């Protein structure tokens, strides 16, 4: 298989836009997809396997030998079958392909074992905005496995905490295991200067695009109205969110 490009993120970070960009550039990005652009096969795999792995490891930056053997073998076999199903409609043998699945963020060690040459595009969006998003599916699914506690009624601070933990630990894993094959893409940069940001991404991927195609892709990027929404809320709540996300906000350049 050609080295794939995996797109992962906290839910709501703009991965659907990136899937569309890669598809427009000629990457095979799946055949049977949901409205979010996620493939049916991968969504089902994540539904089955992410929570048990997180309950066993309590983190994203883990090694496979830290996963109980029976669970590790089950996930391996499931992922192998899932990837085979995903690629069965890929007609461009040896051609560029990728997959968009935000929850790859939680399963990088397993994907890397089966796809050792993978490139990972980690999309990230300001955790203060993410804490106020209506898209809290990952939080509702994985807070308890990761932290061993139930969610409070107000989700904002736990959402900021999960955003920080997930993105910091995923980047830590990437730095050790796939140096030079990890691209951190901030959603705000993509919206603020789409041509430059996409140009940098495709240069990183080694894919040269005609300037007119790059221009059309850049022109199709529409910033979310939710950018900066954390500035509009009660200052005390904004401070609590920022404190929960502080280490990641600092590392990823959010002021």
* pTM as predicted: 0.94
Structure tokens at 18: 């990136």
CA atoms in the 13 A half-sphere facing the CB of 70: 1
- Evaluate whether 103 touches 141 at the Cβ level (below 8 Å): no
CATH code, residues 5-251:
3.40.50.300
Instruction: Please name which of 156, 104, 117 lies closest in space to residue 1, comparing C-alpha atoms.
Output: 117
Instruction: Please name which of 183, 189, 144 lies closest in space to residue 162, comparing C-alpha atoms.
Output: 144
Alpha-carbon gap, residue 54 to 144, rounded angstroms: 9
Hey, how many other C-beta atoms are within 10 angstroms of the C-beta on 221? 20
Alpha-carbon gap, residue 1 to 88, rounded angstroms: 12
CA–centroid distance for 50 within its chain: 13
Range with lowest mean pLDDT among 11-20, 66-75, 180-189: 11-20
- Domain assignments of the chain as residue spans, ordered by start: 5-251
Angle at 8 between CA 4 and CA 9, to 5 degrees: 165
> What confidence tens digit (pLDDT) does each residue in 66-113 have?
999 999 999 999 999 999 999 988 876 558 999 999 999 999 999 999
> What confidence tens digit (pLDDT) does each residue in 239-248 have?
999 999 999 9
Query: Is residue 137 predicted with pLDDT exceeding 50?
Result: yes
Q: What is the 3-state secondary structure (H, E, C) of 143-161?
A: HHHHHCCCCCCCCHHHHHH
Q: Which helix (H) or strand (E) holds 120?
A: strand 119-124
pLDDT band at 35; cut points 50, 70, 90: confident
């Amino acid at each position: 298989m050609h080295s794939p490009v995996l797109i992962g993120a906290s839910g709501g970070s703009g991965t659907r836009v990136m899937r569309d960009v890669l598809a427009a550039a000629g990457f095979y990005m799946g055949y049977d997809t949901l409205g979010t652009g996620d493939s049916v096969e991968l969504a089902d795999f994540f539904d089955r396997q992410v929570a048990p792995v997180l309950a066993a490891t309590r983190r994203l930056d883990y090694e496979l030998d830290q996963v109980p053997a029976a669970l590790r073998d089950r996930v391996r076999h499931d992922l192998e079958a899932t990837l085979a199903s995903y690629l069965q409609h890929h007609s461009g043998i040896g051609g560029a392909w990728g997959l968009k699945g935000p929850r790859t963020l939680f399963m990088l060690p397993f994907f890397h074992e089966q796809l050792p040459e993978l490139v990972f595009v980690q999309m990230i969006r300001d955790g203060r905005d993410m804490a106020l998003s209506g898209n809290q599916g990952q939080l509702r699914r994985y807070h308890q496995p990761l932290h061993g506690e139930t969610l409070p009624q107000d989700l904002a601070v736990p959402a900021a905490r999960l955003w920080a933990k997930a993105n910091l630990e995923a980047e830590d894993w990437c730095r050790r295991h796939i140096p030079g094959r990890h691209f951190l893409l901030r959603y705000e940069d993509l919206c603020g200067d789409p041509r430059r940001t996409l140009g940098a991404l495709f240069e990183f991927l080694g894919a040269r695009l005609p300037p007119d195609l790059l221009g059309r892709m850049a022109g199709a990027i529409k910033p979310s109205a939710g950018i900066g929404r954390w500035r509009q809320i009660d200052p005390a709540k904004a401070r609590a969110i920022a404190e929960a996300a502080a280490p990641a906000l600092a590392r990823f350049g959010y002021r």
